Amino acid sequence: MQRVRRLAALVLVAVLGAGVLAGCRSDPSVAAYVGDKQYSQRHIEAMVREVVDAVNQVSPDSRGSIDFAAVRQLVLSSVVVRDVAGRVAAERHVTVPKADPEVAAQMLGLQAGSPLTPLIEKTGFAELIAGTAVALQALAGTVAPVEPSEAEQREVYDNLSYDGELPAFDQVRQYLNREALGQELGLRGVLADGVQRFHVEVNPRYAPLAYQIPIQLGQVSGYVSVPILSR
C-alpha cells in the first residue's frame, strides 16, 4: 500500500509539473518560444507596425491594402529561423558575422533609390532580415548538399516565380538537380531538425507558419519552405 501511495504521489507530481510547464508555454501574450527564449506578440507587432508605417509614409494610397498577415508571417518566421540558425551555428562552432541593416532593402527586393529604402533601413525589421540572412549564410557553409527527390523537385517547381508561362515540370526537371537545389534542401533539413530539437512553439494566431529559403535558378526565383510548429 505504501508503494502504491508513493507511486500515486509521483504520478500526481508529474501530472501537475506537466500542467505547469504547459501553462508557462501557453501564454497568449507570447508569439513564439525557441528553447527557453520567448518572443512577445508586442515585439512582433512593433516590427510589423514599423514596416506598415514606412510603406504608408512613402505611399499614402497604400493604406488599407497592406497584407498585415503576410508581414507578420515574414517577421515571426524570420525571428524563429534566425534564432534556430544561430543556435545550430553555435553547436557547429561557426561564427555568425554581424548583420548590416543597410543591405536589408536589397534583400527585400527594393529598387535602388527607392524612397522606402532609408525608412526600412532604420527599423528593427531591417536588422532582423539582415541578421537572418547572415545566420543562414554562415550555417549553409556547414551543410552538405543533398540529392532532391521528385517530390522536392515538384515542390520547388510549384514555388517558382517567373514573368511568363513556365514550361511543364518534365521539361525543367533536369535543371532541378543537386547542384541547383541541394544546399538549400540540406539547409532546410538542418533547420527543420533544429525547430524540433529546440522545442519551437508558435502561438496559434500565427499558424500555419513557415520560412521560405530563397532559390535562384538563372532568371527564375523560387523557394523551399521550412515548416515551423504551432502549439
Q: Is residue 69 part of a domain?
A: yes
Confidence class for position 61, pLDDT limits 50, 70, 90: low
Q: Is residue 76 part of a domain?
A: yes
Residues 87-145 pLDDT 10s: 999 999 999 998 887 777 777 777 667 787 787 777 888 889 999 999 999 999 999 99
| Residue 170, all three cell numbers | 518534365
Residues 72-89 pLDDT 10s: 999 999 999 999 999 999
82 neighbors 194 (Cβ within 8 angstroms): no
Q: What is the CATH number of the domain that holds 60?
A: 1.10.4030
Query: In this structure, how many other beta carbons lie within 10 angstroms of the beta carbon of residue 40?
Result: 14
Q: Is residue 167 part of a domain?
A: no
Residues 146-183 pLDDT 10s: 999 999 999 999 999 888 888 999 999 999 999 999 99
Tell me the C-alpha to C-alpha distance, in Å, between residue 168 and each of 105, 118, 160, 180, 218.
33, 41, 12, 18, 17
pTM of the complete model: 0.82
Q: Is residue 127 part of a domain?
A: yes
Tell me the C-alpha to C-alpha distance, in Å, between residue 4 and each of 7, 9, 37, 84, 124.
5, 9, 38, 43, 56
Domain of 81, in residue numbers: 24-144+184-211
| Residue 225, all three cell numbers | 519552405
Q: Is residue 103 part of a domain?
A: yes
Q: Is residue 153 part of a domain?
A: no
**Total domains in the fold of the chain:** 1
Q: Is residue 16 part of a domain?
A: no
Q: Is residue 170 part of a domain?
A: no
85 neighbors 99 (Cβ within 8 angstroms): no
